[in-house]
A and B are shown apart, each in its own frame.
Chain A
Amino acid sequence: MADLTHSIPRSNAGNGTKPNPVLVVLSILGKTLLPVFVTLFGLAALTFFIGRMLPIDPVASILGDNATQEAYEKMSAALGMDKPLWYQFGVYVKGILSLDFGDALTTGKPVIDDIARVFPATIELATLSIIIGTGFGIPAGVLSAMYRNSWLDNAIRFTGLIGYSAPNFWLGLMGLVLFYATLGWIGGPGRIDFIYEFDIEPITGFYLIDTALVGNWEVFRNVFGHIILPASILGFGALAYISRMTRSFMIEQLSQEYIVTARVKGLSWARTVWIHAFRNVAVQVMTVVALSYAFLLEGAVLTETVFAWPGFGRYLTNALLVGDMNAVVGCSLLVGVIFVTLNLICDLLYRVFDPRTR
């Protein structure tokens, strides 16, 4: 998570003129889309070569320990592993271009279907996490900036840093022991109690929405009980980052002259901070939130493992460990697309809406 700071665009991009926003968007699109494709291609190539570099033998993964050599060679040929490397790369690129990632070796289903199944679990978790992270993180950051260097500021920063510093798989395990096993306040690992598993009609794949749509509040509560702890733990990490960045944006704003002017004119302090100063950093804060969200969407492997969460991160890791490269490629490209797209949206938002770049 600490790695996201870089992507916040700097605010000195203005050049004095006032171009039409539509033109700005178009030119940026032109300038950015090409690099986006280059990045994605690079990502695909990197993934391919990582896959070939891995000493994990996908054939052995599929056939298991006691397969005969004949069966081994047969499967190897079926996977095209006996062809030269450049040929394999060609097949691979062709597959990607036609959006066909092939079947996952471990599940026998098309990778796209697998992703469609595991990704909603991660999106749901990531979304609730980011809501928690933003809901608490922004007010915390603003308060921290308002009362800079007070005990409140220190307390908020310290708490935030703990969210930043704790290994979240460990927090998860400890949280389960406390809230689930000892206190019994929340549901356990997994997305839902097994007893309710068949009460869910998959409409969107998001259990909270699915249950709310049909008004089944009993199951909704159960699902919520399952998601709240992992979401809080991931949200804590996001909160740490969001509050920290909000604080530093706000401190910069609060030192501006217009704030002093506003105060002198007799506007209330809270009003000044929340209405005037915050409005000016809102876009910057939004980019931070978007990047945190992108990070959460990559799937938190370790948290998902601890909570038996059938999500994206675990699917990807598992695929990697058995050398299921079709699945790894599909997943990495998806992550790449999400990352690049959110970056792009941030960029656009920033350039179009930030008053100082107009």
Chain B
Amino acid sequence: MTDKAITSPAVAAAAHTGLAAWLRAPVPTSPSHARMQQLWLQWRRLRANGSALFGLCVIVILLIAATFAPLLATHDIFEQNLATRLLAPSMEHWLGTDELGRDVYSRLLFGARITLYIALLTTVIVAPIGLIVGTTAGYLGGWVDTVLMRIVDVFLAFPNLILALAFVAALGPGIENAIIAISLASWPPIARLARAETLTIRKSDYIAAVRLQGASSLRIIFGHIMPMCIPSVVVRVTLNMAAIILTAAGLGFLGLGAQPPSPEWGTMLSSGREFVMTSWWIAAIPGTAILITSLAFNLLGDGLRDVLDPRHG
């Protein structure tokens, strides 16, 4: 009876008014339903946060621009014309031309691909490593913790850009190597964060309960601790993307990032700085693009923090 009383209104509502009502149902019918409802709630909270929404919009626009770059571009990004170099923005070249007469607008679009590629791939590499190292250290404690945390400390104490620089110099310049180098420099903070989270979780009752049921450490770490760390790591990683983009741009600026003729923004900025006084837009445009993108990731990260990780304000 009670059972029926709980389920039937929800089912009925879903049947009558569809998805919206199902998501708003006062009582979830299943774990997955609960999860969907929570996501829905979080989405609504995020939607109410203007700046986060702005960040999200910018990122979506960027993704679209990157995906459809071949359609949106007005010129071949490699086609040079030494006769029409360093042109100011015009109807023909919306954002002007660079030092070899290439269309800056088109290059910027394709550059978005590279920048997003670097940011996303680095994140995909870094997040799991940081999570595994951090949760393992935090849960197992003892000498495992000590060893792992000392390694983390060593990497943290090494200047970030210098570490990336050294690895790029060793591996040779290029996007893939830049990604590896940036990853090497940016996993430790995530490991630290995951460890701190784990320390607060591992003493909790439900973990004790799982342990009493005879679950292995591996299972506890992967099945019960890691999922709890994910929200704060997601926040952290989003905020990190801005730092990654800036580091990649810094490597490009020092000539060790993506190689010409690649339209990576940092590389464009680097070659544009020669013309700061004569053709300011060549440096200003990729610079602004880097600024806006990294700002967008920061805004979104801030918003996500409010939604996913309310403890940290």
Contact = CB atoms under 8 A, between A and B. Distances in A.
Direct contact of A and B (CB under 8 A): yes
A316 B162 contact: yes
A95 interface: no
B210 interface: no
Question: Which of the listed residues B155, B200, B236, B312 has the most CB atoms from chain A within 10 Å of its own CB?
Answer: B312
A42 interface: yes
B116 interface: no
B192 A7 contact: yes
Given A298-B159, A302-B250, A316-B162, A165 B151 contact: no
B277 A177 contact: yes
Contacts of A162: 291, 295
Given A50-B170, A173-B273, A320-B169, A167 B150 contact: no
Interface string B129-146: 000000000000000001
Contact of A54 (B169, B196, B297): B169
Given A170-B283, A335-B157, A335-B159, A165 B298 contact: yes
Given A35-B149, A165-B298, A166-B287, 15 more contacts: A5-B193, A6-B192, A39-B153, A43-B154, A46-B155, A161-B299, A167-B266, A167-B269, A167-B290, A170-B290, A251-B313, A301-B250, A317-B254, A321-B169, A335-B158
Nearest to B246: A167
A54 B298 contact: no
Interface stretch (B16-24, B217-225, B237-245): B237-245
Interface residues of B, number: 59
A35 B146 contact: yes
Contact of A169 (B51, B250, B297): B250
Consensus secondary structure, chain B interface: helix
A43 B291 CA distance: 33
A229 to B, nearest CB: 15
A320 B189 CA distance: 24
Using C-beta atoms within 8 Å of the partner chain, give the interface range for chain A: 35 or more
B178 interface: no
B37 interface: no
Given A3-B160, A35-B146, A247-B313, A167 B287 contact: yes
A6 B166 contact: no
Nearest to B242: A165
Interface string A78-99: 0000000000000000000000
B31 to A, nearest CB: 30
